[in-house]
A and B are shown apart, each in its own frame.
Chain A
Amino acid sequence: AQTVTQSQPEMSVQEAETVTLSCTYDTSESDYYLFWYKQPPSRQMILVIRQEAYKQQNATENRFSVNFQKAAKSFSLKISDSQLGDAAMYFCAYRSAETSGSRLTFGEGTQLTVNP
């Protein structure tokens, strides 16, 4: 079974600075997808970024980028030029591309605080 681990329960960053959230996962599969979701106080789950395992290029979405290290099974999220609106709980998630179904396996979450 796949597992996802986020070792940082809480992180903080100054506004306009850069922060990196860590995520590691364990799987025996070679084809899969990785996601970062943001959960603001409204509780809505918002997709931040997605990475396909077969792609070597790291995904980027505006101020958000990932460092995907497949051999190390690491998938960190970098937020550049942090804004107050980035404050939220962030979840890393894994999804198999080899098995049927639609299960996402989530990490424990990292609570990000942005200080003005």
Chain B
Amino acid sequence: EAQVTQNPRYLITVTGKKLTVTCSQNMNHEYMSWYRQDPGLGLRQIYYSMNVEVTDKGDVPEGYKVSRKEKRNFPLILESPSPNQTSLYFCASTPVVGYEQYFGPGTRLTVT
């Protein structure tokens, strides 16, 4: 089954404790993105990647890191999480410009 998977689905952590949210797609898509969703703001792009070893900032990259060492994986790293990073996070992939994005199931992150 073609899909985008994210882990964990839920995470509660404390300020400053490094964490990684994994994202994997099995559709051989070139493009992958991370978004965060906050009430009243919709979804905003954090980072995106056009291919292996090619990443770029989105609208809200501060406090986040990403890497793309393999085509299928695009982890999101929070090296020192803060409470303002409490949000719902989505990973997405797409094969070419113009196609809809395939979204993962979301990760609910709470930073206390």
- Spell out A's residues near B (CB within 8 Å): 4, 6, 9, 33, 35, 43-45, 47, 50, 52, 91, 93, 95, 97, 100-109
Which of B11-19, B20-28, B43-51, B79-87 has 4 or more CB atoms under 8 Å from chain A? Answer: B43-51
| Best-surrounded residue of B42, B44, B50, B92 (most CB of chain A within 10 A) | B42
Among residues of B, the one whose C-beta sits closest to the C-beta of A48 is B100
The interface residues of chain B lying within 8 Å CB-to-CB of A43 are 88, 105-106, 108
The interface residues of chain B lying within 8 Å CB-to-CB of A93 are 43
In the complex, the answer to whether A91 meets B42 with C-beta atoms within 8 Å is: yes
In the complex, the answer to whether A103 meets B43 with C-beta atoms within 8 Å is: no
Given contacts A33-B98, A101-B31, A101-B50, contact A108 B41 (CB under 8 A): yes
B56 at the interface (CB under 8 A from A): yes
5 additional A-B residue pairs with CB within 8 Å, beyond A100-B97, A103-B59: A101-B48, A102-B33, A104-B45, A108-B41, A108-B42
B42-95 CB contacts (< 8 Å) to partner A: 42-45, 48, 50, 56, 58-59, 88, 90, 92, 94
A64 to B86 CA separation, bound complex (whole angstroms): 34
Select A102's contact among B42, B90, B101, beta carbons within 8 Å.
Answer: B101
A107 to B45 CA separation, bound complex (whole angstroms): 12
A91 to B42 CA separation, bound complex (whole angstroms): 7
The interface residues of chain A lying within 8 Å CB-to-CB of B35 are 104, 106
The interface residues of chain A lying within 8 Å CB-to-CB of B108 are 43
Select B98's contact among A47, A52, A103, A105, beta carbons within 8 Å.
Answer: A52
A35 to B98 CA separation, bound complex (whole angstroms): 10
A47 to B99 CA separation, bound complex (whole angstroms): 11
In the complex, the answer to whether A44 meets B106 with C-beta atoms within 8 Å is: yes
